[in-house]
């Protein structure tokens, strides 16, 4: 889905030239695959759809969209595996060594590549202000509820509920 960006809406007669900045680099978990995009990215969003949830093994995926011509694999091209979902008309690429999701392509946006935000080491120039499939958001997704330390488990915090209070500190692990 292409969402119009604020700068597309006013159709200004002249665009200010984009300041040239260094490309933004990213990598997979094992480091076999490295890539970069030109700064700034096109857009960024949270994807709550079941397909992205499953492909990432996570509550939701946060993507940075880049024009394909502004994206380059700088290392490990031969390590990249590509899975085509013919029914959904999408393709998902991942590192064959460590399994990190790398590139999400959609037939309806052939000039764009979408990359998990978490793989970038620095700012991409876009905040993830958009949500896709928000109606599919899972009830177990953490949404900023207040958290308190869990007694006896340093480094663990939890969302205290009346229902679970009697279990505090025992039987959770
Ligand atoms: Zn890897």
Ligand 1 center–CA 166 separation, angstroms: 42
Question: Has residue 167 got a pLDDT over 70?
Answer: no
Strand 130-132 to 43-47 pairing: parallel
128 and 157 belong to one structural domain = no
Same domain membership, residue 44 and residue 128: yes
Let me know if residue 77 belongs to a domain. Answer: yes
Inside any domain, residue 108: yes
**11 vs 15, residue with greater confidence:** 15
> Which pLDDT tens digit goes with each residue over 99-143?
999 999 999 999 999 999 999 999 999 999 999 999 999 999 999
Give 27 Cα–ligand 1 centroid separation in angstroms.
Answer: 8
Report the separation in Å between the CA atom of 92 and the middle of ligand 1, taken as the mean of its atom positions: 14
Residue 71 in domain: yes
Within a domain: residue 59? yes
* β-pair partners for 61: 47
Q: Whole-angstrom Cα distance, residue 144 to residue 160?
A: 13
Q: What confidence tens digit (pLDDT) does each residue in 47-82 have?
A: 999 999 999 999 999 999 999 999 999 999 999 999
Do 14 and 53 fall within a single domain? Answer: yes
Percent of the chain whose predicted confidence (pLDDT) is above 90: 80
Q: 160: CA distance to ligand 1 center in Å?
A: 37
Q: How many domains does the chain have?
A: 2
**Do 149 and 136 share a structural domain?**
no
CA of 138 to the centre of ligand 1 (A): 28
Average pLDDT, the chain: 88
Same domain, 168 and 126: no
Task: Specify whether 81 is located in the same domain as 159.
Answer: no
Q: What is the pLDDT of residue 161?
A: 82
1: in domain: no
Question: How many angstroms is it from 26 CA to the middle of ligand 1?
Answer: 11
pLDDT score at 145 = 94
How close is the Cα of 73 to the center of ligand 1, in Å? 13
Same-domain status, 113 and 153: no
Q: What is the CA(45)–ligand 1 centre distance, in A?
A: 23
Q: Is 47 a domain residue? A: yes
CATH code for position 48: 2.170.150.70
- Regarding whether 118 and 99 lie in a shared domain, the answer is yes
126 and 148 belong to one structural domain: no
53 is in which domain, residue-wise? 6-140
3 state DSSP class of 8:
helix
**Separation of 158 CA from ligand 1 center, angstroms?**
31
Whether 72 and 125 map to the same domain: the answer is: yes
Tell me how far the alpha carbon of residue 95 lies from the centroid of ligand 1, in angstroms: 5
* Judgement on whether residues 125 and 109 belong to the same structural domain of the protein: yes
* pLDDT of res. 63: 98
Does pTM surpass 0.85? Answer: no
Q: Is residue 155 part of a domain?
A: yes
HEC secondary structure over 60-93: CEEEEEEEHHHEEEEECHHHEEEEEECCCCEEEE
Q: Which value, to the nearest 10 degrees, does the dihedral of the CA atoms of residues 63, 67, 70, 73 take?
A: 50
């Amino acid at each position: 889905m292409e969402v119009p960006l604020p700068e597309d809406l006013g159709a200004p007669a002249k665009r200010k030239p984009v300041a040239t900045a260094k490309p933004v680099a990213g990598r997979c978990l094992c480091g076999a695959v490295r890539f970069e995009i030109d700064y700034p990215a096109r857009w960024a969003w949270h994807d709550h759809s079941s397909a992205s949830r499953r492909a990432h093994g996570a509550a939701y995926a946060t993507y940075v969209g880049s024009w394909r011509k502004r994206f380059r694999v700088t290392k490990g091209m031969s390590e990249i595996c590509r899975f085509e979902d013919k029914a959904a008309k999408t393709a998902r690429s991942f590192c064959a060594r460590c399994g990190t999701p790398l590139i999400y392509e959609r037939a309806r946006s052939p000039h764009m590549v979408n990359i998990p935000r978490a793989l970038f080491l620095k700012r991409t120039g876009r905040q993830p202000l958009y949500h896709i499939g928000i109606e599919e958001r899972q009830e177990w997704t953490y949404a900023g509820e207040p958290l308190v330390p869990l007694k006896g488990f340093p480094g663990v915090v939890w969302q205290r509920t009346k229902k679970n209070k009697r279990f505090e500190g025992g039987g959770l692990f």
